[in-house]
Amino acid sequence: MKRVGIVTYRDIVDGKGRFLQAYALYNVIEKLGYKAEIIDYYPSTPESGDAEILHKFKRAIKNPKRWNNYIKKLLHIRMIKIYNDDFVESRRSYECFIRKNIRITEEKYYGYEKLLKAHFEYDAYVCGSDQIWNPYFQGLDDAYYLRFAPKDKRIAYAPSIGITQVNKEFRDILREKIIDIPYVSVREKSGAKIVSEIIGREVKNVLDPTLLLSQKWWYDLSEDDESRKPYILTFFFSNDKYPRKIAKKIAKIKGLEIISIPNSFADIFLKAHKEVPLGPRKFVSLFKNASFICTESFHGVVLALIYNRPFYVFDREKTESKSNIFSRVLDLLEMVGLEDRILKNNQKLPNEIDDIDYNKVNSILEIKKKNSLDYLKEALEKAIGGSYNVSSDI
């Protein structure tokens, strides 16, 4: 069986979105008839917690404009300390799940030089998904462009650049890194247009790998919980009052309890049942069993779509930012005609909270899924040679 090495966002054991997209891509490649393995890669040698905080503090002193961001990070660190035991247990749950269900390299590779010395023997290499090409995060690392791999074996499946504008400096850098990848696709429509202009050839716009698997597959991953009363699920990243206020209002209108997946400091003060610790199955089950979902997360929206749940998503970018991460949510919802499920800061909640016509949404996703799978199948066949054997539940 031909082997495929995957380079994805670092530390998938940390869970949630980064884990979901990696696990989904791994399973899709396996169902296409290949033996997949995730290369456990980290862009740099990790610092200790105290050393990392000191490093960020020194950077903040030098650049007062970033103080606000660092205050938010310090609050997040405080939240982590409060739930430390629960988060440690969550991480162990992910570690256990990964050991049982994902083929991942035994060695952890810290820094690009380690990959150059590794002498991998995969028949093809895939980079994706998530914001591995975002130049404001870690998207300038050569590993995320598979530059350690043979040129004809490189495939980009649904990486995100996470920005809507690229300055000349980044354009030149990205062009140099992407131009030698023969099979290039990008997750967002806006990102595909940008990358196409940068490298001067067509770039496919494909679905996030989480949307390539059948609804049955996702139901098999999740669990039922008939003991709970009907609830609204909240999953936020910011500390803003507005999305929590809206969640409370919807809960009151619909007679729902509130269950929160704590992910920011403000969640500590939200009057809700805090759902920690969480493993992969429990995490997706909270979305599957929810009566309504309020989130700021891209993969929170994805899970709402997969399980056909009503939702609102909140734009947490108050001003135009260099790294416009909300573009990925906007592109996805524009594709399925659900832009009205986006609420911007202080926007009034609609008088009637309509249900979503998921027959229409599912039909659009099925067409896009077929096109995305066709791209990945063809890219793997050309990179490896030979036919594929598609599983019945993909």
Q: Residue 319 pLDDT > 50, yes or no?
A: no
Q: What is the mean pLDDT of residues 186-192?
A: 93
The SS3 of residue 298 is helix
Q: What is the pLDDT at residue 225?
A: 81
Which uninterrupted H or E stretch holds 342?
strand 342-343
What is the number of domains present in the chain? 2
DSSP lists the bridge partners of residue 313 as 295, 342
Residue with tokens 């994902």: 102
Is the pTM higher than 0.85? The answer reads yes
| Residues 310, 172 share a domain | no
- The answer on 113 and 97 residing in a single domain is yes
177 with 203, same domain: the answer is: yes
- Residue 311: which H helix or E strand, with range? strand 311-314
* 274 and 373 housed in the same domain: no
Are 254 and 122 in the same domain? Answer: no
Does 374 fall in a domain? yes
CB count in 10 Å sphere of residue 180: 13
Any domain includes 110 = yes
Per-residue pLDDT averaged across 116-120, rounded?
Answer: 94
State the CATH number of the domain containing residue 246: 3.40.50
Residues paired with 260 in a beta bridge = 234, 274
Length of the chain in terms of residues written: 394
Instruction: Quickly tell me which residue has 């791209």 as its tokens.
Output: 375
User: How confident is the prediction for the chain on average, in pLDDT?
Assistant: 89
Q: What is the SS3 assignment for 39-73? A: CCEECCCCCCHHHHHHHHHHHHHHCHHHHHHHHHH
pLDDT in tens, 119-151: 899 999 999 888 899 988 888 999 999 999 999
Q: What is the CATH number of the domain that holds 171?
A: 3.40.50.2000
Indicate whether 41 belongs to any domain.
Answer: yes
Domain span including residue 373: 3-45+88-213+364-384
Query: Residue 386 pLDDT > 80, yes or no?
Result: no
- 129-160: b (≥16 Cβ within 10 Å) or e: bbbbbbbbbbbbbebbbbbbbeeebbbbbbbb
Taking only the tens place, the pLDDT of each residue in 93-106 is 999 999 999 999 99
Q: 301-304 contacts: CB < 8 A, separation 24 or more?
A: 301/329, 301/332, 301/333, 302/20, 302/208, 302/210, 302/211, 302/332, 303/20, 303/210, 303/218
On whether both 126 and 262 belong to a single domain, the answer is no
C-alpha dihedral sign at 61, 321, 333, 377: negative
pLDDT reading at 322 higher than 70:
no
